[in-house]
Chains A and B, each alone.
Chain A
Amino acid sequence: MKQSSGRDFFALLALCVIGALLGRMQSTARAAGRIDPLTTAIRATINPAASALVQGSNSTSDFFSGLFNASDLKAQNRALKQLEIVARQYAETVDRLNREIASMRAIDELPVLPGRDKVMATVIGYFPDENRITISLSKTDGIKPGQAVVTGEGLVGTIQTIGRNEAQVSLLSDPNRKLGALVISRNPPSPGIIKGENASILVLTLDASLPVENGDLVSTWGFSGLIPRGVPIGRVSQIYTDRTTGSKRVEVFPNVSMGNVREVVVLK
């Protein structure tokens, strides 16, 4: 019995010594920035099963949670969908306002034209079929028919009629109205006559001998005195040469997209 007791204590001591050695091995490995091989081996046997068990318990927990909280989850889902719609609307509003701010900045940064005053106006009506917009200016603002209406991007059209509380503007896209225009990217600029064809294309007629290329900037001629020279109109997108008439038909993509215009300036 006494011998057995001594053997047991010796075994206990031996296990404690082994434990101390393992602890020392672990500390040495840690000092070298590693994990000791025994810990690695033990974790390798335990971790896969533990991970599987965690996943299983999570799935089970989620399943029962879903089962017992189905109505709450449904309500939360509905609320989240509503929030998503509101967030999307908010983002759209922010985008629209940013575009408006950019447009206002462009108007504000319009170069000062000698002898011309800038009169701000709000677009209060847009009639694409009639190639016309209505703006918030009247006779008392000192504007006259034929004066240029612009935004930061370029020419919108010209004042057509002036009423008591509003003015009608004939848009560039109006096929019944012609304007003098210049391809100012060329030196010397190539002069021609521009008129509307549809809402997105203007047609510039040039002499066949005058140089023009796709992407060239077209601006106002300034010949009439009412519209100043150099106000951008658009960029050349297609060129056709008509040999029978000896002229070039140049399609111009307008700088100003009318659907987005909220504020304009009249150059009086």
Chain B
Amino acid sequence: MSGAKGIIFAAVIIWIAAVLEQSISPKMSIFGAQPDFLLIVLACLCMFASRIGGAMLGFFTGLAAGSITGANLSQFIFSRTITGFADAWSRTMGLDSNIVTAAINAAVVTIASQLILMFFAPPAGIAMFVGATIGSAMVNGVLAMPVHALLRRILAP
């Protein structure tokens, strides 16, 4: 995923994820765990991106997430940018790009980015936050499978 076409494609996917995050996510709560569509697309797109690309994707998903929630932009940008960078870097470990690794990757990205966010902006109830993050990671993992399959179909050479 590179070039102007890749950038436009990534921008459209992030926009769709932001719209879903704003509208559908609160209604898709499963046992209190809500999906985070921006983290799902970050995790899935990072599997096709370079480290700089991952960082850029993290930056814009963080910007979108911070704008939607009205929270501090820098905290969301830091947490997502670092996670995106690290996730894209992890491609060099030689893991296969399939739906199972996509699911695991999405869960790990969710937990990592939320833990970094927790470091920058400690929540009032840490136990509840961690519980919600784990639940969200599981839901994101499940939802990342079809998203990854779709992206691979579009982006694979």
> B-contacting residues of A (Cβ < 8 Å)?
7-8, 11-12, 15-16, 18-20, 22-24, 26-27, 38-39, 42-43, 45-47, 49-51, 53-54, 57
> A-contacting residues of B (Cβ < 8 Å)?
15, 18-20, 22-24, 27, 50-52, 55-56, 58-59, 62-64, 66-68, 70, 72-75, 77-78, 81-82, 85
- Which 9 pairs show the lowest CB-CB distances between chains A and B? A23-B74, A19-B77, A50-B22, A42-B67, A53-B23, A50-B23, A8-B51, A39-B67, A49-B19
In the assembled complex, which residues on chain B have CB atoms less than 8 Å from the CB atom of A53?
19-20, 23-24
CB-based contact A18/B85 at 8 Å: no
Name B59's contact: one of A15, A38, A50 (CB within 8 Å): A15
B19 to chain A, nearest CB (A): 5
Would you call the interface of chain A mostly helix, strand, loop, or mixed? helix
Given contacts A39-B73, A42-B63, A43-B67, contact A19 B20 (CB under 8 A): no
CB-based contact B73/A26 at 8 Å: yes
Closest to B81 in A: A15
In the assembled complex, which residues on chain B have CB atoms less than 8 Å from the CB atom of A45?
15
Interchain CA distance A42-B19 in the complex, whole Å: 11
In the assembled complex, which residues on chain A have CB atoms less than 8 Å from the CB atom of B55?
8, 11-12, 15
Output the residue of B15, B56, B73, B85 with the most chain A CB within 10 A.
B73
CB-based contact B52/A57 at 8 Å: no
In the assembled complex, which residues on chain A have CB atoms less than 8 Å from the CB atom of B81?
12, 15-16, 19
CB-based contact B74/A24 at 8 Å: yes
In the assembled complex, which residues on chain B have CB atoms less than 8 Å from the CB atom of A23?
72-75, 77
